Amino acid sequence: MDSEIELKLFIQPQYHDLLVKLLNELDGATPQETCQLSNKYFDTPQLQLRQHLMGLRVRQTEKYTEQTIKTAGKVIGGIHSRPEYNVAIEQDFPELALFPDTIWPQEMLVSELQAEISCIFETNFCRQSWHVYIGDSLVEIAFDTGNVLANGKADPICEVEFELLAGDTSALLQLAIDVARHVPVRLGKASKAQRGYLLSGHSQAQSLKSIDYIRLLSDKSLSKTLEVLLESGIERWQIIESILLDSDEISQQAQLWMQLRACIRLLRLTLSQFGLLNSQVLSYFDTLEQQLQFIEPLQSLSLIIDERQNLFGKSINKAPLKALAKASAAKLVADNNLEAFWLKPEYGQLQLELVDLLLKTANGSHRLVDYPELGVFANRLQQDSWQRIVDVMPMSAAMDSLDYQKVAHCLDESILVGFAYGELYQAEDREAFRAPWQDLALGIQTLGCYQLLAKLTAETDVDIGRWLEDKEASLLFAMEHSRKSALKNQPYW
C-alpha cells in the first residue's frame, strides 16, 4: 500500500508554456519522461465503490498497464491524503482478487463486485512531470492536460499536482506558493474521478443552500477553533466556486457571489482575530475585496429582476425597469466572471497562504500564547464588533441612505463574527438579537436598489422619481425605528 499525499492546483490553458518553462527552470527540479495516460474508472450500477469512498481505475501507458484502488482518505484545505493500492496487470479490465483482502468492507463480496463492475468514465491526458528536492523532501510535480470523457461529453483537464514522495508535507506548500508567484492558480478540490462521476451523470453537483453556523469542536481549544474556522472557510469557498461555475441564473449568481465574499471576509476576520494577518496576506485580501465591488450592484439588479422585498407597487410599469435591470446585470456578469477572477495572481496566492496557515495550525506550529479560553475569547470578539456598530450607528444619530451605505461593511463583519462563534450560545437568545441587524443589512441592500433604479431610469422616459423618494423615505423610517430598537436589546454573550 502507498499513501498518496498531494496538493492539486487548477490553471488556465493559456499559461501552459509559462508553467512548463517555470518548472524546467525550478531549482532542484529534474524533468521526467512525458507520457500519455489512458484511464478507465469502474464501478457497479449501484455505485457501491463510490458509496464506500473508493475509486477503482485501470491506467494504460505505452510501457505498462496498472490497476489502482484508492480507499477513503481526507482532504484538509486542499491537501489530499488517500491510501492507494497498485497492481500491474496485462488486460484493460480490473481483477479485484489481486488487491489485498483487507481493503474491502465486510459486507462487500468481491466475487459479486467483480461480476457487476463496468467502465463508468475515462480520463485521457498528457502528463509532464518533474522531481524536485526541497531540503530532505522529494516532491513530484505532474502537469496534466487532456479531458474527462463520459456519455460523449468532455470536460477539460488542466491541472498541476504536487505529490509528496518523501519528507514533510510543508514542501508541497513551499513549491505551490513559489509557482503561484509566477502563474495564476486556484486550489483544486474536485479530483478527476469526482469530475468523471459528475460528467457521467452518476453524481450531482454540490449544493450550499445557505452558509450555516460553523460547528466548533466540543473541547473548546483555541487552536482547534482556529483550525476549524480556517478549514470551514476554505472548503466553503471551494464549494461556492463549483456551484457558481454551473450557475447561469442572475439571482443565484448574485447570492453565490455574496456568499463567496462572506467566506473571504470571514477568513480575513479570523486571521486578524488570531494575530496572523501579516501585510502580504492583507494585500491579497484587499485586492480581492476591490475586485468584488460589483456585488452590491449585482445584488440590487437581482432584487429588481425578481421583484423581491415588495419592490414595486401596482401603479409602476415594471416591464421596462426589469428589462433595463436584466441588460445591466448581463453586462455586469460578463465583465466579472469567475474565470477572469481566477486570473488575479492574488486569488491563488491567498488560497495557498491560507492552506499553509491551516497546516501549521493543525501540526501545532502556531502556539497561541496568553489567549483566554474560547468562551471568554468569543465574548470579547462579539463585544468588540458590537461596540464598532454602536460607534458608527449611535442612538443619537439620524441616518440617511448614504450613511447606511457607509456602514454596510462594518455591519457585515459584525454579523460574520456572530456567525463564526454562534454555536457557543443559546439559539433563541442569539437569533432574537441578530434578527433586526440582519433585517437592517437587507434594508441597506434595498436602499442600494432604489439608488440604482434612479440611475437606470435617468436617461429613459420612465419617470419614477417621486415614487422612489417615497419608497426610500418609508424604508428609512422603518430602518431607523428598527435600528434604535435593536440598540436597546441586551447582548446575548
Q: pLDDT band for 221, please (50, 70, 90 cuts).
A: confident
Say what the pLDDT of residue 313 is: 65
**What digits encode the pLDDT tens for the residues 143-162?**
999 999 999 999 999 999 99
For the chain, the maximum distance between any two Cα atoms, rounded to a whole number of angstroms, is: 81
**Lowest mean pLDDT across 49-53, 143-147, 178-182, 364-368:** 364-368
Q: Categorize the per-residue pLDDT at 54 as very low, low, confident or very high, splitting at 50, 70 and 90.
A: very high
Write out pLDDT tens, residues 93-135.
999 999 999 999 888 899 999 999 999 999 999 999 999 999 8
> What is the rounded CA–CA span in Å between residue 307 and residue 312?
7
Say what percent of the chain tops pLDDT 90.
68
Instruction: Tell me: pLDDT of 356 over 60.
Output: yes
pLDDT of residue 310: 67
Average pLDDT, the chain: 90
Q: What is the pTM of this model?
A: 0.90
Here the cell at position 483 is: 435600528
pLDDT at position 89 is: 96
Residue 42 scores a pLDDT above 90: yes
Out of 197-206, 259-268, 320-329, the most confident range is 259-268
Distance CA 418, CA 389 (A): 13
pLDDT classification of 2: cutoffs 50, 70, 90:
low
Task: Tell me the DSSP string of 37-76.
Answer: EEEEEEE-TT-HHHHTT-EEEEEE-SS-EEEEEE---EEE
C-alpha cell read off for 478: 422603518
Q: Given this model, what pLDDT does residue 213 score?
A: 81
pLDDT at 347: 95
Q: Give Cα separations from 287 to 141, 229, 345, 420 (angstroms).
A: 29, 22, 10, 23
The SS3 of residue 274 is coil
Query: What is the reported pLDDT for 279?
Result: 95
Looking at the predicted structure, is the pLDDT value of residue 14 above 60? yes
Quote the pLDDT of residue 34: 95
- CA neighbours closer than 13 Å in the CB half-sphere of residue 261: 20
- Which residues, in sequence order, are CB contacts of 348 under 8 Å at separation 6+? 9, 180, 184, 185, 186, 187, 342
Average pLDDT (473-482) is 95
- Reported as a single tens digit per residue, the pLDDT across 261-315 is 999 999 999 999 999 999 999 999 999 999 999 999 999 999 888 876 567 766 6
- 127, 20 in Cβ contact below 8 A? no
Task: Check pLDDT > 90 for residue 466.
Answer: no
Can you tell me the distance from the alpha carbon of 255 to that of 258, in angstroms, rounded to the nearest whole number?
A: 5
Q: What is the structure's pLDDT at 443?
A: 94
CB-based contact 121:149 (threshold 8 Å) = yes
- pLDDT confidence bin for 339, thresholds 50/70/90: confident
Q: What is the pLDDT of residue 252?
A: 87
Higher pLDDT, 221 or 415: 415
The 10s digit of each residue's pLDDT in 58-77 is 999 988 999 999 988 777 77
Q: Which range has the worst mean pLDDT, 49-58, 78-87, 423-432?
A: 78-87
Which cell is 443 given?
Answer: 434594508
pLDDT higher for 389 or 82? 389
| CB-CB contact of 258 with 441 (8 Å) | no
Residue-level pLDDT at 59: 96
Task: Please provide the DSSP assignment of 187-213 as one string.
Answer: E--S-HHHHHHHHTTSS-----SS-PP
3-state secondary structure of 167: coil
d(CA 172, CA 164): 7
- pLDDT tier, 39 (very low <50, low <70, confident <90, very high otherwise): very high
- Burial level of 231, CB count in 10 A (0-12/13-18/19+)? buried
